Structure 1
Amino acid sequence: MSRAVIFDLDGTLIDSAPDIHAAANRLMAQHGFAAFTPDETRSFIGSGVPHFITCCLTARGRAGDGALRARMIEEFIADYETAVTLTQVYPGVMGALDGLAGADLALGLCTNKPKGPAHAVLAHLGLDGYFPVIIGGDSLTVRKPDPAPLQATAAALGARDMVFVGDSEVDAETAARAGVPFVLYTEGYRKGPVERITHDRAFSDFTDLPGLITDLLS
């Protein structure tokens, strides 16, 4: 297929913040640190596990401990592989994906979540069949907002024309650096107001998405 829609995962297709919060607090308790609030861990999401753990340690005054950081990254990913029970698909996602696939559009996933946990949560939620190509935060040596993961996803799909759908400043920067139209889901994990995030279209209801994509790719 020459046309594709590529999605971010956390905060775009799924609300995984509750599972991430629970996994983070299990890890913090294991190392004797105080727990975080849901809003705190939510603010750390978006740039991959290493960045997430750095935020956790910075908030607890241990940012400079490289050995601890490396150990906690490994431990978090191991726990995160099965942290799927609190995660939910946003309303309307499956209908939108069905509509896009029915319009002869290839679907791909480009996320900073490690590939193992991404596959696990997609399978748990019944979304795995939609995405023949998944590029995770550990698939390449770089992560979003570097454009390489998005470009790799498009190349694997054989796409010449594409739209990237995401929820955050990181996703917006990724699309801009790749020279790709960006559609912003406004109900995810963005840090600032919608008007400060560069985007071609924005939506809050997934029933609107197929029409926006058709408009952008026409």
Structure 2
Amino acid sequence: MTRLRFRTVVFDLDGTLADTAPDLTDALNHALGVLGRPAVPANDVRAMVGHGARALLRKGLAATGGGDETMVEEGFPIFLDWYEAHIADRSRPFPGVEAALDALAADGVALAVCTNKLEELARRFVSAIGWEDRFAAIVGGDTLPVRKPDPAPLLAAIEAAGGGPAAFVGDSITDTDTARAAGVPCVALSFGFSDRPPEALCADRLIDHWDELIPALATL
């Protein structure tokens, strides 16, 4: 394997490392049901993910008739309780993820996660899927006072993992905007939870499968 120039590679979680949409959909629809709302189709939920649980619930309410922040706060613990209990029931790593992570680690690259998922939920998911020892740092949406697309969480993840030079891998405009604000090169996936066409993400490189990650990073 060609040695990369990056000391650290940071990854988004939902829609990047793993397809978490099935469990997020179940949790959202459970909360909506308790609030007297109809379910949201799974494909619609994929485009709603990326800004944290409250934002997901807010979008779910908007898609089923609207709702104010009182409803969001009422539904939030219902969503969390369900999701914590079922966080990895149906979620799975994307094909090729673990081989790519193994190859990067074998090359001496430190790995980290920067997600808008609550840090405790991110750590719980990583543990549930058997990835406890893979990441040098995990920064969640509540780790700092700000979250992506503010660059601070990404920069904190890079520092906690050992420093740069670093690259970021994500699947949404939130991720590419974060990388740009942090001055970090970004690889985007064409198959994640984006709310727009992959080309509109304006990433430095766009890949269609995890097998393409390391060759893409080698060109940056």
Q: Tell me the TM-score normalised to structure 2 length.
A: 0.92
Write out per-residue CA displacement over residues 158-212 of structure 1, whole angstroms, 9 at most, x where no aligned residue: 2121000001111011101111100011111112222221111111121221222
Note if contact 1:48-1:143 (Cα within 8 Å) is conserved in structure 2.
no
Q: How do 1:1-218 and structure 2 match up within 5 A?
A: 3-64=7-68, 66-83=69-86, 84-216=88-220
- State how many pairs are aligned: 214
The offset of 1:18, in angstroms, is 0.7
Residue type matched to 1:77 in 2? Answer: L
Question: Which consecutive segments of 4 or more residues in structure 1 shift more than 3 A?
Answer: none
Q: What is the alpha-carbon root mean square deviation over aligned residues?
A: 1.4
User: For the residues of structure 1 that align with 2:189 and 2:105, how far apart are their CA atoms?
Assistant: 19
Note if contact 2:100-2:210 (Cα within 8 Å) is conserved in structure 1.
yes
Q: Tell me the TM-score normalised to structure 1 length.
A: 0.93
Comparing 47-56 with 94-103, which one deviates more in the overlay?
47-56
The offset of 1:61, in angstroms, is 3.0
Comparing 205-214 with 163-172, which one deviates more in the overlay?
205-214
User: For the residues of structure 1 that align with 2:85 and 2:119, how far apart are their CA atoms?
Assistant: 12
User: For the residues of structure 2 that align with 1:60 and 1:207, how far apart are their CA atoms?
Assistant: 38
Note if contact 1:168-1:190 (Cα within 8 Å) is conserved in structure 2.
yes
Q: Secondary structure at the match of 2:111?
A: strand
User: For the residues of structure 2 that align with 1:39 and 1:79, how far apart are their CA atoms?
Assistant: 20
The offset of 1:101, in angstroms, is 0.6
The offset of 1:40, in angstroms, is 2.1
Note if contact 1:81-1:116 (Cα within 8 Å) is conserved in structure 2.
no
- Identity rate, percent: 37
